[in-house]
Amino acid sequence: MTRFKNYSPDQLMMMSLNLSDTYPEGTFERFLVEMLQEIDTNGFYDYEDKGGESPFNPKSMLGIIFYGIIRGEFSLRKMSENCHTHTGYMLVSGYATPNYSTIGRFINNHHDEIRDVFCQLVYLASEKGFIDYTTVGIDGTKIFANASKEYSGSIEDFKKREKRLKKKITRFLEKSAKSIDEDETKRYNKKIMKYKKERQKISDFLERAKKQYKSAEKKEIKQNITDPDCRVMKTGGSVKEAYNAQSVVDSKSEIIINTEVSNEHNDKSMFVPMYEKTQEVMKNRPNTNLENKTKFLADNGYHTEETVIYISDNKIDAYIPEGSTKNFYDDKEKKRKRLGIKDCKIEKEGSQVILECPGGTRVDHYYMAKNKGKDCFRFTIRDCDHCQACTHYKICVGNLKNKVKEFELKKRTFDNLEKLKKFSDKLKTKKAKKIYRKRIRLAESPFAHIKEIFKFKKFYRRGLEKSNTVWNLVCAAYNLRKMYAMAI
């Protein structure tokens, strides 16, 4: 007979747990505890005490959340369970065992305080010499929203859907009234309740959305009922409900020094607010050499005339190419499909504006026009017979039916022509291209770490404010991991 050891799962066992031996100096868990001790959490105590059980210490709550994010665990239920069973959670929480709903309320009720914790960690990183602010990269990534795809659409889409639901309810009410079978009647009534609930949800949204729709741009933006703040965006070749998460990363150790979440579809309007917020962070931080200007690197998604003019007016050392990165490094002349105003030379003689096309034709007659509400100069070349000998004829006039070529120049562009040209010439230098090569590593590396290592690809809370808070927590956790890697 084979001999087995006794199986006694209910036997008593005496054991001592010394977490100092399990997580000695040099482990990340111990490093996280030391960083939590340095963070000032007095802001979390500013609340009305209504009695009852004492709340958990903010350091315990932050420790649980940061540790969970770094382990790729975003479920608050999972975090709460691990506080009872996982020794790492026990250490960073100080043996606290909050319920998942308590952790959720902590995140929801302390938006400003959590932002301050992120800023404090940036301060500590700067104080320890991990940040030098010489070169920073600005970029954005799309993070999926916690929203139902079924409830996304335009105002007109929802109005049509509401009408269809009304017809369905009427049809099933008639069927239910004629039905003799009791089970069939119950099935019809169940569908009627479902359609009524869905119709009510859409009706409530339309009541709220009318004001938003009137105040928005002329081109309608699709909205979502589940999370009204999110927008339908292109993400990885597909179109999904998402937010645009922004970050500013320092070049020395790839630590994120600033964050923001917006519901803008692209990055065109994000450079200025991200720059201004970064300036506020840099002003009061140690080890900041204000004599040497910080270089700001961003991809072509941030390039607009308004942004370039703002950069020139504020004397910012920024590098934002107009075209793709591939074309930015390629010095060869690009093959063009057609000629535009950017290929022409613009001159000003007194009050007269003169355009010279690439073929050498000078045009001084134009008229003022409006394009999307903005003033512009419109140059027209009607007699194009002499252009047939031009090398640019095929891509300029050759593909036009009426053989009349028009060039349109925005008045704002003309007024700031020198600033735009100076910025463009700066980017063509070898020095600028050498500096800009740092951008991909700076901008993309943190996003890759957050999405692939932390497995954070979706906001699990709804609304712009809550998403901002979660993004601050995720970026703060990323910074802690980077600081630990630099410290050991």
Q: What's the pLDDT tens digit per position in 468-480?
A: 999 999 999 999 9
Angle subtended at Cα 13 by Cα 12 and Cα 19, rounded to the nearest 5 degrees: 145
- The confidence score (pLDDT) of residue 296 equals 94
183-201: per-residue pLDDT in tens? 888 888 898 898 889 888 8
Q: What is the pLDDT of residue 79?
A: 95
Instruction: Identify the pLDDT of residue 347.
Output: 80
Q: How far apart are the first and last CA of the chain?
A: 55
Is residue 452 very low, low, confident or very high in pLDDT (cuts 50, 70, 90)? very high
- Arithmetic mean of pLDDT, 214-220: 54
What would the mean pLDDT of 272-294 be, rounded to a whole number?
74
The confidence band for 359, taking pLDDT boundaries of 50, 70 and 90, is confident
Residue 10 pLDDT > 60, yes or no? yes
Tell me, what's the pLDDT at 90?
A: 93
Q: Give the residue-averaged pLDDT of 392-408.
A: 73
- pLDDT given for residue 213 in this prediction: 47
Task: Report how far Cα 320 is from the mean position of its chain's Cα atoms.
Answer: 18
Q: Are 256 and 94 in contact (CB under 8 A)?
A: no
pLDDT above 70 for 400: no
Give the model confidence (pLDDT) of 40-75 as tens digits.
Answer: 988 887 766 666 778 899 999 999 999 999 999 999
Pick the closest to residue 255 from 450, 14, 52 (CA basis). 450
Percent of the chain scoring above 70 in pLDDT:
90
Q: Calculate mean pLDDT across residues 307-313.
A: 92
Q: 325 pLDDT band (50/70/90 cuts)?
A: low
Considering the entire predicted model, what is its pTM?
0.85
- d(CA 67, CA 92) in angstroms, rounded, equals 8
How wide is the angle at C-alpha 237 spanned by C-alphas 231 and 241, nearest 5°?
A: 20
Q: Average pLDDT over the chain, rounded to whole?
A: 85
C-beta separation of 114 from 105 below 8 A: no
pLDDT of residue 365: 75
Residue 210 has a pLDDT of 62
Highest mean pLDDT among 187-191, 220-224, 371-375: 187-191
Whole-number pLDDT of residue 244: 95
Contact present, 224 and 148 (Cβ < 8 Å):
yes
pLDDT for 8 beyond 90: no
Q: CA 338, 341, 343: angle at the middle one, nearest 5?
A: 70
Query: Tell me, what's the pLDDT at 335?
Result: 65
Q: pLDDT confidence of 207, banded at 50, 70, 90?
A: confident
Predicted local confidence at residue 53, as pLDDT: 76
Q: How confident is the model at residue 2 (pLDDT cuts 50, 70, 90)?
A: low
What is the helix (H) or strand (E) element at residue 142, kind and residue range?
strand 135-144
Which residue reads 């992120």 in tokens?
Answer: 118
Write down the pLDDT at residue 216. Answer: 46
Confidence of residue 92 (pLDDT cuts 50, 70, 90): very high
| Comparison of pLDDT for 217 and 160, the residue scoring more | 160
- 135-145+232-330+425-476: CATH number: 3.30.420
Of 421 and 381, the one with more pLDDT:
421
* Confidence grade of residue 107 (pLDDT, cut at 50, 70, 90): very high
Give 218's pLDDT tier (boundaries 50, 70, 90): low
Q: What is the rounded average pLDDT of the residues 75-101? A: 94
pLDDT reported for residue 285: 60
Query: Residue 116: its pLDDT value, please?
Result: 93
- Per DSSP, the three-state class of 358 is coil
